[in-house]
Chains A and B, each alone.
Chain A
Amino acid sequence: MSSDVYIIGIGATKFSPSTPEFSFKELMYEAAVKAYNDAGIDPRKDLDVMVTAAEDYWEGISIFDEYVPDQLGAVLKPVFTVSGDGLWGVAHAHMLINTGQFDVVAVEAHSKASDIVDIQSIWRMALDPYIHRPLVDNVHVFAGLEMNIFMESLDVDRDAVSLVVSKNMGNALGNPLAPYGADVDPDMVNESEVVSYPLRSMDISKYSDGAVVAVLASRKVVEDLGVDAPRILGIGWVSGSSYIEEWDFAAPEFVWRAGQLAYSMANINDPYDSIDVAFIDDRYSFRELQSIYTLGLDNGYSLNELVYNGVTYPDGDLPVNPFGGYLGCGYPLVAGGLQKLYNAVMYMRSGGGDVETALVMTRMEYPSPSAAVAILGW
């Protein structure tokens, strides 16, 4: 399978712990206007299909997908919602354009996490009602389990994980859209409250509100507009068994498989060699290292060496989450993948042509055994 789909525009709101002055529709509107301006298109004339990514429970509205066309310039156009993260929406937009039937498809995702008064109860509702919900009320317990198995299996130091938090929150200091930039000593992370051993409070990304819209287009549109837009070289998404009991917590196969789908579409054989920068899942600090390992981006380093040698720092060989990741930008629920895509596009544009290839990856959260990976290039 080949890919001839481009990201001609992208827009995002600021990410904030709360946005009491704007409704979800107004956040979406801001991101959409920015994206269409960035792309140089008129959505009322040029937009063929609108894809949104949302989960009803996050919105507090069932059948949420009916509440989206007006603020996105998509009234009386084909609209559908992917029940998942925005990166899954990108995969669907990519397929639509590759059919040859559509030239301009936009993808939207947002978070209004601050409106959810009892967010942990919604996470609880995602747990298996037969065998997990009767036992566990705190979904972070599963992250603690995953973290412990991952760290023991791959011999990862507590300090290496804490340095991920310190790096990403530090990286966010330079990102005007990120609310959680801070100069954090790894010892602060080591001493933060234990939530579910070995997971500590500072290992968990805090939530943020925000919206992102990406405009994808065919080569024909890119040629008509005469612009230089990053191309989606490869994209893949995978779900594993829904039984958590079957997961390989150390290096989840569904993450590996999603990576393989994207790599094969992009003709990438040696990921570390081919990828210049990675924007990957850090909902929980350890996930960044786990995803590096599982996606074959470790270049044979041990994960401890990788961190201690500075490989993943902004001036390292493979910068990872250089604009702050979820730890620094906040975790905007299903807008996470698009937040990372936005950061990737900004990074590539600012790279002066040096950044050839960027990897974007996120996971759906517990209990979802799902991951998506996209590779961008010029």
Chain B
Amino acid sequence: MSVWDVFNGKTRFLEDNMNVDKFVYTLGHGYEKFFNGLKEGKIIASKCSECGVTYLPPRIYCEECLSEITEFVEIKQNGVVLGYTIQNVDKDGRHLKEKVIWALIGFNGVRGGIFHKLVGVEPEEIYVGMPVKPVFREERKGSINDIQYFTKTV
């Protein structure tokens, strides 16, 4: 523990770290299906057999009727932009070398969606409802980053 000594020689603060560097986050059934699907270049959702709602990301319980969900379905990868923002600075306020367009992507008949980067699009071309599709990385390891970005459907 170190001491800051900044106010005319008076001690005013103690400094310490919140030393919690590592944590593992168990995927569970829902995210296992989702991430292993991405690894295979697929987008997997889950569908409640009681009320018919299809959820993305997939999960094993329905927030509407609380039924257990056992049906996982691959969805069509053609999505649309539901909303977007253009990031200009990082968390510490530094300008990004290149602005990043982030978009919320929705899919037909699916509740939820995927929040991800949008690339190959000029800001002024973007509109709500714009058709987009994912571009997967060559090398995939089961993470949200297996999708490199979304881009417009030509």
Contact = CB atoms under 8 A, between A and B. Distances in A.
A139 interface: yes
A131 B63 contact: no
Interface in A116-152: 120-121, 123-124, 129-132, 134-139, 141, 144-145, 147-149, 152
B13 A20 contact: yes
Contacts of A145: 83-85, 102, 104, 115
B63 A20 contact: no
Interface in B78-124: 82-92, 102, 104, 111-117, 123
Interface residues of B, number: 39
Nearest to A152: B128
A245 B56 contact: yes
B144 A135 contact: yes
Contact of B83 (A129, A132, A249): A249
A27 B57 CA distance: 43
Contact of A196 (B13, B86, B104): B86
A148 B85 contact: yes
Given A145-B104, A245-B57, A120 B92 contact: yes
Interface string B46-88: 0000000001110000010000000000000000001111111
Given A131-B115, A193-B89, A197-B123, A148 B143 contact: no
Given A130-B27, A141-B87, A197-B85, A135 B117 contact: yes
B87 A138 contact: yes
Contacts of B117: 135
Interface in A234-271: 241, 243-246, 249
B151 interface: no
A227 interface: no
B18 interface: yes
B85 A137 contact: no
Interface of A: 20-21, 57, 60, 115, 120-121, 123-124, 129-132, 134-139, 141, 144-145, 147-149, 152, 193-199, 241, 243-246, 249
Interface of B: 7, 12-13, 16, 18, 23, 25, 27, 31, 35, 55-57, 63, 82-92, 102, 104, 111-117, 123, 128, 143-145
22 contacts: A20-B12, A20-B13, A57-B18, A129-B25, A130-B57, A131-B57, A131-B144, A135-B116, A135-B117, A138-B89, A141-B85, A141-B87, A144-B85, A144-B87, A145-B102, A147-B85, A148-B83, A149-B83, A149-B104, A197-B87, A245-B114, A246-B111
